[in-house]
Amino acid sequence: MKHSFAMLAVLALCVGGVALFVLRSEKPLAPPPPEPARPAARLLAVGPRQTSNQTSEPLAVYGEGLEQGMRLALGPPVSRELPLRVVDARHAYTRLPADVALPPEQPQVSVTARLVAAQAGSATEGEARLDVVNDTAFPDLFALALAPDGGTAFIASPPTDTVFALEVASGKVTALATADGPSAITTYQDAGGRPWLAVAHRFSPELRLYALDAPGSAPRVLPAPAGAMGLAVDRRGEVAFIAEQVRDTVRAVSLGDGKERWSAAVDPNPQALAPWKELIAVGSLQTGQVELLRQSNGGRVATLVPGPGVPIVGGGTERFSRQVMSGKAPRGLVASERLGRLFMSSLGPNVGPNAERMEVSANGGVAVLDPARGEVVRHRGFGAGVTEGVALDEAAGLLYAADIGLGQVRVLDARRLVESEAGARKALLQELPMPLPEKTPRARPEEDYGKEGRAGVELHSGPRALALAPDGRTLYVLNRFTGTVAVVDVSRARAGQARVVRQLPVTEMRTQPKRRLGQVLYYADMGRTAMSCDACHLEGHTGGIFFEKTRPMRIYRSTTVRGSRDTPPYFTPASTHSIAETIETVGSRNRFQNPRLTATEVEALTLFTSLIPTLPNPFLGEDGAPPETLALPDGRTGRSAEGRALFEGKGGCVACHPAPLYTLDQSPETRGRYLEVGTPLALPLRMDQQDLVPGAAPPALVGAWDVWPMLTSATAGYEVKGARLTVGTRFPLRKVLESSGPTHGNAQALTPQEQDDLIAFILTL
């Protein structure tokens, strides 16, 4: 009998009592239709758009269709393919290695970035620009220390990973190889009298100890925190105190076994350190405060900050003592046990709103602090320049102060500074210009200097740090811009007759001449107004707050210059629309138009300023990607991947902070929008003397991990208590979320854990 399905054969199989029927066609099956072509992976952006070759720099890659195995190809002269850590189809991460060598004479190179597919034959699209700043060919003499016997000066250059050993008798220079970014150095003698050089680093988590009685021997290497910017050793040579700017702590590390004895949280960006008796003083570059910690356990004893009524002796702010609202960054600290005081160099007490609408409150000088009573006694202002490094001769009662803005060293009577206001007024004994080496380039014609109240040509020298010989008869001055150490005979300094007897070259500084000239101008106080770019944007970063800006007059947060090249316009409301326009406007105003910047000065200063990139984010992993979880500064824990999803979704952040720089100002199509998002408009201090303008530009969030305070009003960080400002929180990101109104994204709808996750993500940008 024929089956009704004549074209099919039926096969019945029984497996475990179950019949399986397989129908077999007598005709061949048609080939399956071809799979649709996969869309090409597309590169949209690389962030940040500008980076440096001085260390391993993390990069974020944004695109479509990203997949594991892809690489980021960088064009010449970098010519590298970097492996990508792909976390999803739109986000990937990598690192630019630290060994990228560029032509020394080029300050920056611009390279093209493209995707390389994981599999041969797969298509990729799109390209992005990445600018690499050539910092490894731009030495920067940042720190100075003198061997205990006075025979050798040590000079740290962080971008070139070098500490130079300069024999002061012969002038011979030897370069010591260090770890990544030597940023803080000191010398000491251990309990057995053996001399050592200690070197801490900005990017390497190690402390290197060089035995000075065994030249050429390998250093001892101890674990230490990265981000180090301050270093001191106790009088017994047993413990190193390290101020670091990643977690904002001071750490005590045993020089014997390398173990950490204690860690103390301090105000943001600690740097200057000074041991005093059984205490250690630490200065915050952001809050302008000095904290006193116990050397034994890190316990806080007192916080010293100028307030209303602090005496100001000399300079343009003298009559505004009652309007002092806080302090400015401690740039140098030195302790005198004999006089029972600390001496602090800074731009003076921070004057706030006042009826006279006096806005320029910089008054470089030296303050006297009483650690026993926990107070700022007085500030001796010079009315000009920017005072940085200080050195003390205890026996002679003399204080030396380096002025990087004017290019000179001041000699002061330390006893008079301490005894009274009348004594402080008479304490200045001498102002000693630092001579320039032959053929040092000038920013202007020679005849423009030293007249009509202007600084002299010595402003091109850049004295930053000081070291006094053990016998007190010789002072060594590190000149940051000319690459020299000046040898100063101070045997007759009390009579005002200190003199420069030699200039010892350390390293060549003219490889990138226009950029070097721009560096000089960034720090210079040509008009002797106590104003410079660095006065408000210390080392290219923030400088706390100030009551300024003429129109409108209010208390502002001093913004960072890092990475700002790509985020115009500037100021609130917007008044300049490029770095060059800002330099021309603000640079001349800093000098009070005496004289106006020339086109050459504008060009050089613009180049230097535009080459200040954001720092590498220390919270990212070895592959450049955010960690799965991150410990937050207030002890909580956040998940960065969940935070990224919230940032781009429920949190509503991406509307105002899009990648790769996380601000609308990164693109010509969206920049210049001033938004009202419900955050506080101003610090409530003498509100009748502040001009409030609602709205602000959404700031770039790249580098937000190192910004304090936050918000244009600085209310995420500072609080007002009576007539002065106090530090309300050291963790401004938390405060931003807590103070956000209903129009600041969707922050109010986030749960506590979601807030932690969002903060963790922002800390990794």
pLDDT tens by residue, 543-555: 889 998 677 899 9
pLDDT digits (tens, 9 = 90+) for 498-527: 999 999 999 999 999 999 999 999 999 999
Query: Can you give the pLDDT at residue 38?
Result: 67
CA distances from 84 to 48, 61, 69, 351 (A): 16, 8, 7, 50
Query: CA 502 to CA 492: how far, in whole Å?
Result: 16
Give 552's contacts (C-beta < 8 A, 6+ positions apart): 690, 691, 692, 693
Whether the CA torsion 166, 217, 256, 209 is positive or negative: it is: positive
- One-letter amino acid of 725: L
Q: Please, what is the Cα angle at 627 between 660 and 224, to 5 degrees? A: 110
* Mean of pLDDT values over 73-89: 97
pLDDT class of 16 with cuts at 50, 70, 90? very low
Query: Can you give the pLDDT at residue 28?
Result: 54
pLDDT over 70 percentage in the chain: 95
Query: Can you give the pLDDT at residue 30?
Result: 66
* Mean of pLDDT values over 699-726: 96
Q: Where are the alpha helices (DSSP H) in 486-639?
A: 513-523, 533-536, 579-590, 599-610
Query: CA 528 to CA 543: how far, in whole Å?
Result: 20
pLDDT class of 14 with cuts at 50, 70, 90? very low
Give 591's contacts (C-beta < 8 A, 6+ positions apart): 526, 527, 529, 531, 597
Query: CA 636 to CA 279: how far, in whole Å?
Result: 30
Q: Which of 403, 412, 401 is nearest to 494 (CA)?
A: 412
- Retrieve residue 355's tokens: 């009826």
Query: Can you give the pLDDT at residue 15?
Result: 33
DSSP state letter for 478:
E
pLDDT class of 339 with cuts at 50, 70, 90? very high
* Mean of pLDDT values over 736-761: 91
Q: Is 268 helix (H, G, I), strand (E, B) or coil?
A: coil
- N- to C-terminal Cα distance for the chain? 79
pLDDT digits (tens, 9 = 90+) for 589-616: 999 999 999 999 999 999 999 999 999 9
pLDDT digits (tens, 9 = 90+) for 275-331: 999 999 999 999 999 999 999 999 999 999 999 999 999 999 999 999 999 999 999
* Mean of pLDDT values over 145-152: 98
Q: Where are the alpha helices (DSSP H) in 322-474?
A: 414-419, 421-425
Taking 60 as the threshold, does the pLDDT of residue 26 lie above it? no
Query: Can you give the pLDDT at residue 695?
Result: 85
Q: Is 418 helix (H, G, I), strand (E, B) or coil?
A: helix
Give 436's contacts (C-beta < 8 A, 6+ positions apart): 457, 458, 460, 461, 482
Query: Can you give the pLDDT at residue 390?
Result: 98
* Mean of pLDDT values over 634-650: 97
* Mean of pLDDT values over 475-484: 98
Query: Can you give the pLDDT at residue 33?
Result: 64
Homologous superfamily (CATH) of 41-136 is Immunoglobulins (2.60.40.10)
Q: Which of 262, 328, 349 is nearest to 300 (CA)?
A: 262
Taking 60 as the threshold, does the pLDDT of residue 425 lie above it? yes
CATH of 138-443+453-508, one of 1.10.150.120, 3.40.50.9100, 3.40.190.10, 2.130.10.10: 2.130.10.10
Mean pLDDT of the chain: 93
Taking 90 as the threshold, does the pLDDT of residue 36 lie above it? no
Q: Note whether 138-443+453-508 and 629-763 share their fold.
A: no
Q: Are strands 260-265 and 270-276 parallel, antiparallel or unpaired?
A: unpaired
Percent of the chain that is helix, strand, coil (3-state, to 5): 15, 35, 50
Query: Can you give the pLDDT at residue 568?
Result: 95
- Retrieve residue 417's tokens: 């500074």
Query: CA 563 to CA 509: how far, in whole Å?
Result: 24
Rounded (10°) angle between helices 513-523 and 599-610: 90
pLDDT digits (tens, 9 = 90+) for 221-277: 999 999 999 999 999 999 999 999 999 999 999 999 999 999 999 999 999 999 999
pLDDT class of 660 with cuts at 50, 70, 90? very high
Query: Can you give the pLDDT at residue 10?
Result: 29
Query: CA 609 to CA 384: how far, in whole Å?
Result: 23
Query: CA 657 to CA 701: how far, in whole Å?
Result: 7
Residue 42: count of CB within 10 angstroms of its CB: 17
β-partners of residue 334 are: 343
Residue 618: count of CB within 10 angstroms of its CB: 20
pLDDT digits (tens, 9 = 90+) for 675-686: 888 889 999 999
Q: Is 555 helix (H, G, I), strand (E, B) or coil?
A: strand
Q: Please, what is the Cα angle at 487 between 483 and 489, to 5 degrees? A: 160
What is the Cα 155 distance to its own chain's centre? Answer: 20
DSSP state letter for 622:
T
Taking 60 as the threshold, does the pLDDT of residue 397 lie above it? yes
Domain range 629-763, CATH architecture: Orthogonal Bundle (1.10)
- Name the residue with tokens 């000098």: 591
pLDDT digits (tens, 9 = 90+) for 84-120: 999 999 999 999 999 999 999 999 999 999 999 998 8
* Mean of pLDDT values over 427-456: 97
Kindly list the domain boundaries of the chain, sorted by start residue: 41-136, 138-443+453-508, 523-610, 629-763
Q: How many helices (H) and strands (E) does the chain have?
A: 9, 49
- Cβ–Cβ < 8 Å for 750, 758: yes
The more confident residue out of 742 and 407 is: 407
